[in-house]
Every structure is written in structure tokens, then in C-alpha cells.
Amino acid sequence: MLSHPAHFIAQGFGSGLSPIMPGTFGTLFGWLSYVVMTTRWPEIFTPLNWLVIIAAGFVVGVWTCQTTGRHLHAPDHGSMVWDEIIAFWLVLVVVTPASLQAQFAAFVVFRFFDMVKPPPINYFDRRFKGGFGVMWDDIVAAFYTLLAIAMWRLV
């Protein structure tokens, strides 16, 4: 992880090195970091600033995941969790303010879509390779999560 700066970021500052369910641990890290930063520095981590951070994080993620995947000889290595972090930040910035229970529900729904990869997530996962592909399928999972939450709120 420390052999290259891209690995440190792509592997979620170490959260992706969990021997079991690294994607879940990466998403948990994303959730915790979002809550800590938003609570500790609310004047800096506003919704608009979060969207800028997420957009920049996506671009950085394309590079870090491309580089890390090449170095690990696995284009979508399981330890790369920056994609989950960025995508779940997107979910949280849209659903915030939300109770802890609502955030947990968003976490469960996001993990479901990220693991099951229903169409068209599975299409993007198969077709888009490299850093962009790693990042993009999780953004689509975030969209599905937000769609599911919006539909649930309408009922």
C-alpha cells in the first residue's frame, strides 16, 4: 500500500486491505470519514464543496485505480475501494440531512447494488475497463441507491 501514492488512495487509506469484505470496509470508511468531516468542519464540508470533492475524487480515482490495478496485475483488485468511498460520499451528500438509521439503510442498499450489480451496472462492469470502469460502476450503484431511496420516500 505504501509503495506508491496511488495505492494508498486506491486502497482507501488501508481500509481496502481487510481480508474479508474489503468493499464493505471501504464503504464503512467512506461513511465514517463523511460523518467526521461534515460534523467537525461543517463550514468547509458543505454539500456544494462535497460535490466538488466527489468530482475531483472521481478523476483522482480513475488514475489511482488504473495505476494500482496495473501494479497489482488485476484491473479491479478487491483491495481497491476508492470507488466505494467516492460513490458512497455521493449517496450521503444527496440524502443528508438524514438520521443514522436512514444512513444505515443507504449503506445497506448501496452495498446490495454494488455486490449484486444488476443491469446496467453489470454491463458497465464488463465493458469499461481500467480506472474509469472501476470508478464508474460504483457511481451507477450510487444512482440506483438514490433512486431506491427516492422511491421509498414516495411510498
Sketch the domain layout of the chain as residue ranges: 5-154
Q: Which amino acid is at 132?
A: F
Report residue 39 as a C-alpha cell: 460534523
C-alpha dihedral, 80 to 137 to 76 to 28, nearest 10°: 20
pLDDT at position 129, please? Answer: 87
pLDDT at position 153, please? Answer: 86
Query: CA–CA separation, 79 vs 67, rounded Å?
Result: 13
pLDDT at position 1, please? Answer: 66
**How big is the chain by its Cα radius of gyration, in Å?**
15
Query: CA–CA separation, 127 vs 121, rounded Å?
Result: 10
Which regions in the chain score pLDDT beneath 50?
A: none
Alpha helices in the chain (DSSP H): 5-10, 22-40, 47-71, 82-95, 100-116, 121-127, 130-154
Q: What is the pTM of this model?
A: 0.95
pLDDT at position 130, please? Answer: 93
